[in-house]
Structure 1
Amino acid sequence: MSAASPLAETWAIGARVSTYLLAGVPAAALDGSPSGKGRTVRDLFAHIHDVRLLWLKAARPDLMEGLAKIGSGSTADHAALAAALDASAAAIERMVAEAAAGDGRVKGFKPHATAFVGYLLSHEAHHRGQITQALRIAGMPLDKKVSFGLWEWGVR
């Protein structure tokens, strides 16, 4: 990442936090849900990835190559979810870096690329909160190291 793109690096750090959370979720907990019904932990990670793809499809379909929707009800394991999240994060990072270096805009999003990154980071943080709540409700809370690690952006 070039020093000229702190916006893209900010996105990348936030995206790595989501993948870091996934790594801290026990495999047995992927099918838990906040209320015992609705989206599971696995579905929430899939949703994070799939929303990234929605934005890529709308703004930069050329960056969609090799990316596929996971969808609700998937049986994707940790490795598949992590690979999908890493790939979609990289595509968004490229889109943001190029927008920042260009006219500062992401097609289809107002007002500008900085607000777009804020929007995506907020969206993902919301779902990370749902995931951590689901794990607590299911009696499988995150390890304290992982919980605190979500806030260690300087090392993610």
Structure 2
Amino acid sequence: MTSANGDSLLGIVLDSWDRNNRILVNLLRALPQGGLDARVMAGSPSVAEMFTHIHYVRLVFLSEDAPEFATELPSREWANEGNPDRIAEELDRSAKAVRDAVEVCIQRGQEMKLHYDHPLLYLQHMIWHEGYHHGQMKLALKMTGRPLDDQKIGRLTWGIWMDKARGA
């Protein structure tokens, strides 16, 4: 199946994954001062910990479901990384690993090993999981008096999904 402009369905799905990662990195880059330390309440994960958890979850499921594409797992799942550049690098690294695995598995007709009936279900789970944490991060920022401006963050998040020019 192809779109009106000739893109394959697989290409469109992989583009949605790329956009999903761009949205997370854009959110990370838009954080106000102290935003990585924000948490909804005592005992909840900080924004930094949620970003590192997302990276970890991508890679742990990859190691279980497509081990031939596995990369090194971080030593901790909920790391309190204070360097946004490091977090962005890790998100980009894990996004590429997931993308490559899903693309090759679909092209080969290869099933996932443990959790999913199809590689697209893995990708959809990751997008859903990351959207869930995206909302938690924005709530943590609001709860700590650091809300993001809806106009600014909307262009960097929802705008990426809806941009017909490929989220450029």
Measured against the shorter chain, the TM-score band is 0.7 to 0.9
- Partner of residue 90, structure 2: 84
TM-score normalised by the chain length of structure 1 = 0.87
* Long gaps (5+) in structure 1: none
- Partner of residue 99, structure 1: 105
CA contact (8 A) 1:67 1:88 kept: no
Residues 114/121 of structure 1: CA separation in 2 closer, same or farther (3 Å cut)? same
How far the C-alpha of 1:11 sits from its partner, in A, is 1.5
1:40-64, Cα deviation, whole Å (9 max, x unpaired): 0000001100100111211233433
How far the C-alpha of 1:115 sits from its partner, in A, is 1.9
- Partner of residue 46, structure 1: 52
* Long gaps (5+) in structure 2: 1-6
- Partner of residue 18, structure 1: 24
Residues 118/133 of structure 1: CA separation in 2 closer, same or farther (3 Å cut)? same
Corresponding residue SS for 1:43: helix
Residues 71/115 of structure 1: CA separation in 2 closer, same or farther (3 Å cut)? closer
Identity, % of aligned positions: 27
Corresponding residue SS for 2:37: coil
- Partner of residue 30, structure 1: 36
Instruction: Kindly report the root-mean-square deviation, in angstroms, between the aligned alpha carbons of the 2 structures.
Output: 2.0
Q: Distance in 1 between matches of 2:89 and 2:76?
A: 11
CA contact (8 A) 1:49 1:70 kept: no
TM-score normalised by the chain length of structure 2 = 0.81
**Which stretch shifts more, 143-152 or 31-40?**
143-152
Q: Which has the higher contact order (CA 8 A, sep 6+)?
A: 1
